[in-house]
């Protein structure tokens, strides 16, 4: 039986120059669609869950294309609101070797960022759901969206729906101060928090001692502190942290950590040669939610999430087009990449 899972946020058009070209060289863009919470919904649909994505898109072919892209990969779009000005866009140059990937956002004035809280009927949306997920990007889109998130999580609590939040701090959307204020209010209703090396520090001032993300140095001990501080501060049931070691735009180390208030569970570490790293964190969140909603043990959950998101780095676009069996196969240890005939 599939579980109803609901995610809420923005889906953008992503325009990517093909073949490692830069924007100034491009004569065409590959077009996909994505966004933190939409990416999570696709992961869950891929694993067989009944995943709903809630957003607002303009009532034109561009908005329809975004909805179609979600439907194509099995996400339910019944609660998508139509109207507003435009679909957010982001341009994404794929980095290579020492040249970093580059994102140029053109997301302002998007339909979802202008949506009113009352456009979302959370009682109807969340009825029967097992899980609700959002990221720190959604409330950062404006006070109206922060309110919509608050409405959502309160309704979720009321209906007994588990709530997860990926902190996902975006400095171009809001200041740390604003983020802290808004997120603190929302965290009260969150059960499981997910973050990476920068989020906890930027949003809540919780810092992993002596890591330097630009040097690819990770301090695992520090992350444990961060996780436990987060969990305590907001009385969470669990905290997951993704640990990315950035060696170059092509080569990253990748693993995950999960803390359930009692023990720390560390996943296997992957050395990844990257095809497309956007959505890596969302693939982790999607994997974690799948595992937790299906009763995996904490260790299995963080392994599933890490394997799923490791595979995402080999997939073009924001969405993680992998099957349950592919994730499980990697989770069990076959990272040899041998041909599957």
Of 30, 32, 54, the residue nearest 41 (C-alpha): 54
Nearer to its own copies, 29 or 264 (CB): 29
Tell me the three state secondary structure of residue 212.
Answer: strand
What is the closest distance, in whole angstroms, from the C-beta atom of residue 39 to its own copies in the complex? 14
CA distance 42 to 47: 9
Least separation in angstroms between CB 233 and its own copies: 26
3-state secondary structure of 205: coil
Tell me the closest approach of the beta carbon of residue 316 to its own copies, in angstroms: 6
The secondary structure of residue 84, as a DSSP letter, is S
- Taking residue 23's Cβ as centre, other Cβ atoms within 10 Å add up to 14
- Rounded Cα distance, 233 and 230, in Å: 5
List of residues 6+ apart from 320 with CB closer than 8 A: 39, 42, 43, 46, 279, 282, 283, 286, 308, 309, 311, 312
Between 66 and 236, CB nearer to its own copies = 66
Structure tokens at 78: 């019944």
The smaller minimum CB distance to its own copies, of residues 74 and 117, is found at 74
Q: Among residues 85 and 118, whose Cβ is nearest to its own copies?
A: 85
Of 39 and 155, the one with the shorter C-beta distance to its own copies is: 39
Taking the complex as a whole, the smallest distance from the CB of residue 184 to its own copies amounts, in Å, to 23
CA distance 327 to 3: 19
Q: Which is nearer to its own copies, 205 or 333 (CB)?
A: 333
What CA–CA distance (Å, rounded) separates 173 from 167?
13
CB of 337 to its own copies, least distance (A): 3
As measured in angstroms, the least distance from the Cβ of 260 to its own copies is 26
């Amino acid at each position: 039986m599939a579980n109803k899972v609901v995610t809420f946020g923005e889906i953008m058009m992503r325009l990517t120059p093909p073949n490692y070209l830069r924007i100034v060289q491009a004569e065409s863009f590959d077009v996909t669609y994505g966004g933190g919470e939409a990416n999570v919904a696709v992961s869950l649909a891929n694993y067989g869950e009944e995943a709903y994505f809630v957003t607002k898109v303009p009532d034109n072919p561009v908005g329809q294309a975004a909805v179609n892209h979600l439907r194509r990969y099995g996400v339910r779009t019944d609660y998508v609101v139509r109207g507003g000005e435009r679909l957010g866009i982001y341009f994404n140059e794929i980095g290579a070797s020492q040249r970093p990937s580059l994102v140029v956002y053109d997301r302002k004035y998007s339909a979802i960022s202008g949506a009113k809280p009352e456009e979302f009927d959370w009682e109807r949306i969340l009825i029967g759901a097992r899980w609700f997920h959002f990221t720190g990007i959604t409330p950062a889109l404006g006070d109206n969206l922060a309110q919509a998130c608050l409405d959502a999580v309160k309704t979720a609590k009321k209906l007994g729906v588990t709530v997860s939040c990926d902190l996902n701090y975006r400095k171009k959307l809001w200041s740390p101060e604003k983020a802290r204020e808004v997120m603190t209010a929302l965290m009260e209703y969150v059960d499981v928090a997910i973050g990476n090396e920068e989020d906890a520090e930027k949003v809540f001032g919780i810092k992993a001692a002596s890591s330097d993300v630009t040097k690819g140095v990770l301090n695992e001990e520090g992350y444990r502190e961060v996780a436990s501080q987060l969990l305590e501060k907001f009385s969470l049931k669990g905290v997951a942290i993704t640990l990315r070691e950035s060696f170059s735009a092509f080569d990253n180390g990748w693993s995950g950590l999960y803390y359930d208030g009692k023990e720390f569970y560390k996943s296997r570490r992957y050395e990844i040669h990257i095809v497309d790293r956007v959505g890596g964190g969302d693939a982790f969140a999607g994997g974690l939610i799948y595992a937790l909603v299906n009763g995996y043990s904490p260790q299995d959950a963080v392994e599933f999430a890490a394997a799923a998101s490791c595979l995402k780095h080999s997939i073009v676009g924001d969405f993680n087009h992998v099957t349950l069996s592919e994730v499980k196969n990697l989770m069990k240890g076959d990272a040899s990449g041998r041909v599957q005939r």
